[in-house]
């Protein structure tokens, strides 16, 4: 029989939020998983566990809505991983340091997720080998929280956000306008909020600001599904129209973009780029600064050279998950909780590999709010350093 008290002490060292639980509350969490009996749980060697959780196939196999009766349950692979880690910790087969290095606990959902590596060797080399600026990583103050509201999140990010905003304003002064600015980032990283703050700063300084939403360039969902297209790649959008619109607005000309109807999942334009009868495009006036809105604004190689400033704005998965618990579950009531747990587990690894890491390899700036770091390519770092010297 495994000692619940021993596991409780080990888990407190892995996740500070466990200290907020009384031992009997910790037992409530465990009772949903296993009777704490070693028999029946096969423990894989640590090397095999690492290979498993670094395999895309592991995540593509996760079901979002598996059911037992009329109830959505956690996918079996997620259950097995969490059971292995809990039992492995309890019996001493898995060192605490190894578990903490490769996994994090969602204390509210009480299951383990794999830590996503965004700063790969290739990304770090592209960004000059080290951060342009470092700050105290104040998100560490949020480690004990079971869910995180925006006020606490914003306060923790204050220094790095201020430096980022100042860097963007300085770069726009140097590069000149009109300029296209694209900020990519995972869900709940804080991307929407930082863009709103940037827009406010620019408008207060007298600059005209507008935006182009990439989602409006989607083709009809039926056409995408017929081709087996489920991501925002070149075959999913009106690419020729998108490129033409970017070129024209860069030259200070008014543009007319497609309008995507999210209710019936259809585009205002046909596959040849012609406006459909009875549909209206979106008219966008030229501006000094044009934000490209979307999760992967410069993932396509044809698009990246047209964007004057490419940014990836990151927050660690564990922080983002707790923001989503507060925002999407408590406030918006957006997801059924277990569906949300399955979806978050599945999507973070896949989206990092397919979307965010490739954009980090071509970005100008990467903001790591959790690590308290502002990264920049050597060229951009040089421009910013010269700008600061001239102040």
Which three-class secondary structure state does DSSP give residue 374? Answer: strand
142 pLDDT above the threshold of 70? yes
- What average pLDDT does the structure give for the chain? 93
What pLDDT score was predicted for residue 42? Answer: 86
Q: Are 99 and 89 in contact (CB under 8 A)?
A: yes
Helices (H), 20-114: 23-31, 46-53, 56-60, 76-91, 96-102
Task: Tally the C-alpha atoms within 13 A of residue 230's C-alpha that lie toward its C-beta.
Answer: 5
Distance of CA 69 to the CA centre of its chain: 33
Distance of alpha carbon 345 from alpha carbon 323, whole angstroms: 15
Q: Is 190 exposed, middle or buried (0-12, 13-18, 19+ CB in 10 A)?
A: buried
Span 110-139, pLDDT tens digits: 999 999 999 999 999 999 999 999 999 999
What pLDDT score was predicted for residue 135? Answer: 97
Q: Which residues are CB-contacts of 133 (< 8 A; sequence separation ≥ 6)?
A: 160, 163, 373, 374
Distance of alpha carbon 184 from alpha carbon 333, whole angstroms: 25
Which three-class secondary structure state does DSSP give residue 179? Answer: strand
CB atoms within 10 A of CB 18: 20
DSSP structure class, residue 312: E
Span 190-241, pLDDT tens digits: 999 999 999 999 999 999 999 999 999 999 988 888 876 655 678 889 999 9
- Could you tell me which of 319, 359, 332 has the C-alpha nearest to residue 143? 319
Instruction: Indicate the pLDDT class of residue 388, thresholds 50, 70 and 90.
Output: confident
**What mean pLDDT is predicted for residues 91-115?**
96
Token output for 218: 């989607």
Q: Are 165 and 201 in contact (CB under 8 A)?
A: yes
Q: How far is CA 208 from CA 178, 179, 247, 286, 336, in A?
A: 9, 11, 18, 8, 41
CA dihedral of residues 311, 105, 328, 356 (deg, nearest 10): 20
The C-alpha R_g of the chain, in whole angstroms, comes to 23
360 pLDDT above the threshold of 70? yes
């Amino acid at each position: 029989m495994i000692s619940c008290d021993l596991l409780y002490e080990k888990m407190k060292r892995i996740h500070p939020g466990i200290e907020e639980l009384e031992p009997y509350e910790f037992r409530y969490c465990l009772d949903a998983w296993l009777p704490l009996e070693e028999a029946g749980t096969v423990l894989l060697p640590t090397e095999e566990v690492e290979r498993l959780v670094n395999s895309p196939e592991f995540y593509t196999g996760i079901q979002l809505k598996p059911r037992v009766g009329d109830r959505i349950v956690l996918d079996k692979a997620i259950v097995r991983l969490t059971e292995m880690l809990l039992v492995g910790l309890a019996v001493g087969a898995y060192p605490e340091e190894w578990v903490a290095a490769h996994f994090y606990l969602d204390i509210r959902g009480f299951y383990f997720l794999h830590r996503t590596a965004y700063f790969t060797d290739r990304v770090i080399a592209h960004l000059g080998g080290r951060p342009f600026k470092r700050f105290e990583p104040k998100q560490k103050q949020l480690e004990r929280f079971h869910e995180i509201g925006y006020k606490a999140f914003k306060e923790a990010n204050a220094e790095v956000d201020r430096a980022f905003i100042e860097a963007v304003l300085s770069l726009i002064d140097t590069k000149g306008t009109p300029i296209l600015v694209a900020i990519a980032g995972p869900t709940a990283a804080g991307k929407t909020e930082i863009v709103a703050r940037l827009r406010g700063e620019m408008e207060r300084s007298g600059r005209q600001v507008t935006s182009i939403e990439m989602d409006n360039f989607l083709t009809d969902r039926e056409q995408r599904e017929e081709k087996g297209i489920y991501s925002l790649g070149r075959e999913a959008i009106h690419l020729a129209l998108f490129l033409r619109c970017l070129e024209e607005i860069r030259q200070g000309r008014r543009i007319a973009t497609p309008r995507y109807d999210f209710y019936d999942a259809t585009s205002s334009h046909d596959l040849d780029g012609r406006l459909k009868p009875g549909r209206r495009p979106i008219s966008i006036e030229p501006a000094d600064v044009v934000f490209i809105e979307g999760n992967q604004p410069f993932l396509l190689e044809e698009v990246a050279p047209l964007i004057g400033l490419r940014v990836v704005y990151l927050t660690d998965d564990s922080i983002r998950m707790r923001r989503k618990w507060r925002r999407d579950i408590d406030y918006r009531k957006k997801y059924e909780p277990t569906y949300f747990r399955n979806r978050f587990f599945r999507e973070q690894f896949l989206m990092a590999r397919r979307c965010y890491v490739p954009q980090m390899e071509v970005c100008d700036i990467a903001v790591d709010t959790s690590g308290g770091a502002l990264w920049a390519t050597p060229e951009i770092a040089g421009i910013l350093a010269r700008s600061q010297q001239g102040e």
